[in-house]
Amino acid sequence: MKIGFIGDIVGKPGRLMLKRHLKRLQQEHFIDFTIANYENASHGFGLTEKNCIELLGYGIDMMTGGNHSFDKKEILNFFDSYPLIRPINYPKETPGEGLFKIQLLGHEIAIVNLMGYYTMPMVDNPFTMIKKTAEDLKEQGIKHIIIDMHAEATSEKHALLQMLKEDVSAILGTHTHVATDDLQVVDGCCYVTDVGLTGCRDGVIGMHADVPIKRFMTGLGGHFDVPDNCKAILQMVVFELDENGLCIGAEKIKIYDDKPKIVTKAWME
């Protein structure tokens, strides 16, 4: 089976890139299931119901979140209505779930949303929680386990790879919006530190550059805004899993605006 994973979708420019390109990419790369991170999809902060329906209509099958999952409070009312999860290590009283299961091509697939510690909201220990979660899933006979590791620190993501590379199918990093050039398959586990944003590429992490530059120059903050018009990029990892949940190949797809796609193969260990 082939899985497509899209990192942080940032605002309208990111949604429009998916509208233009996603269904064609799914056909060209024989993608069976598509996952995307929604936490910046509605003007850079959170997700509205309107944009949720829009993204699902473009061909996304389910979506993961992060530290901005709850920026739009209406999401509290529709976790049960749409295929959405939030980080599993939020307190158990937090609305929503952090684990999504689905039957696909005769196999049960588990998708876990996990959030790191560094600069993030108050959450439970991601490492002890995911270790227990992976053990529980394996005991249930689930071999196809995919993790969205939403974290600022690259060290947390690398540590997760070393800890779980023989137990899960894929670990895809999100949150920083800046793609890393380290897509690899290690001991049957697909890994990349950060998939990178889908949205504006000529600002700062998908936003207008003026407020971030002001903060760096003066120490004074402001509200981040997503430009209405910009140079855009779509970034997606496509990986193939065998019947035992092992990754047997992966590639990174990038599209700049409406230019031809760029495909880079993963390093295979």
Beta bridge partners of 104: 107
Domain that holds residue 160: 2-200+228-268
Range 108-120 average pLDDT: 95
Residue 147 lies in a domain: yes
> Is 68 one of the catalytic residues?
yes
Residue 130 lies in a domain: yes
Whether 222 shows a pLDDT value over 90: the answer reads no
pLDDT for 87: 98
Residue 210 lies in a domain: no
Residues 34-76: tens digit of each pLDDT = 999 999 999 999 999 999 999 999 999 999 999 999 999 999 9
Range 195-202 average pLDDT: 98
pLDDT class for 191, splitting at 50, 70, 90?
very high
Whether 269 shows a pLDDT value over 90: the answer reads no
Range 199-204 average pLDDT: 96
Whether 209 shows a pLDDT value over 90: the answer reads yes
Range 5-22 average pLDDT: 98
**Considering its fold, how many domains does the chain have in total?**
1
| Other Cβ atoms within 10 Å of 219 Cβ, number | 7
Residue 17 lies in a domain: yes
**CB 1, CB 34: distance < 8 Å:** no
Residue 137 lies in a domain: yes
Whether 228 shows a pLDDT value over 90: the answer reads no
pLDDT for 221: 84
**Residue 156, CA distances (Å) to 152, 161, 253 in order:** 8, 9, 24
Range 93-119 average pLDDT: 96
Residues 140-176: tens digit of each pLDDT = 999 999 999 999 999 999 999 999 999 999 999 999 9
Residue 144 lies in a domain: yes
pTM (predicted TM-score): 0.97
Residue 148 lies in a domain: yes
In the 3-class helix/strand/coil scheme, how is 52-100 assigned residue by residue?
HHHHHHCCCCEEECCCCCCCCHHHHHCCCCCCECCCCCCCCCCCCCCEE
Residue 217 lies in a domain: no
Q: What is the CATH number of the domain that holds 262?
A: 3.60.21.10
**CB 13, CB 233: distance < 8 Å:** no
Instruction: Select which of 21, 68, 144, 175 is catalytic.
Output: 68
